[in-house]
Amino acid sequence: MPVYVDISRCIGCRSCEVACKRVHGGKGHVNVHMAGDHASVPIFCHHCEEATCTMACYTGALYKDAERTAFDVEKCTGCGLCQLACPFGVVWSDKIAHKCDLCAGRENPACLVSCPANALSTDFELASRRARARAAMAVARGR
C-alpha cells in the first residue's frame, strides 16, 4: 500500500528525504516542498491505480503488483519515457529509471519509520480520523 501523508503534521524537516536516499544508494524518491513559512509536504509516488508510467513503459519494467507500482531493474533500458509519463514528476531516469518501491524487502518504508512528526503512514484513513478527533476536541472545549 502507498505511503499517505497527514500534511498538518509535516514539519518540513526532510528526514523522509534523507531516509529514502540512505536506503536507495543515494538516489532518493521523496521531495519535501515548502509552502512559504506555513506548510510543507513530501511529494512522492502515489502508486496510482491507473499508473501512467506503466502504460508508457514498453519493456514491462514498470508494472502493477497489487497496489504497488513496482519496478524491475533488469528490464529497464533507461529510455526515459516513464519519467515524462508521471503526472506528479516522481519517476526519475538517469541511465536507469528509479522510483519509490515502498522499500521492498523492509518491514515498513524507511521514510515512514524515520518521520519524527508521525506524519506518514500506510493507513489511508488515519489523517481523516485525526482531523475528526481534532474537530471533536475543539467542540468539547467549547471553541
Residues that bind another protein (CB under 8 A): 5, 7-8, 31, 33, 35-36, 38-41, 43, 50, 52, 55-56, 58-59, 77-81, 83-90, 93, 95-96
Whichever of 43 and 126 has its CB closer to another protein, that residue is 43
Check if the beta carbon of residue 119 is closer than 8 Å to that of residue 9.
yes
Q: Tell me the closest approach of the beta carbon of residue 82 to another protein, in angstroms.
A: 9
Whichever of 90 and 113 has its CB closer to another protein, that residue is 90
Whichever of 58 and 123 has its CB closer to another protein, that residue is 58
Q: Tell me the closest approach of the beta carbon of residue 75 to another protein, in angstroms.
A: 10
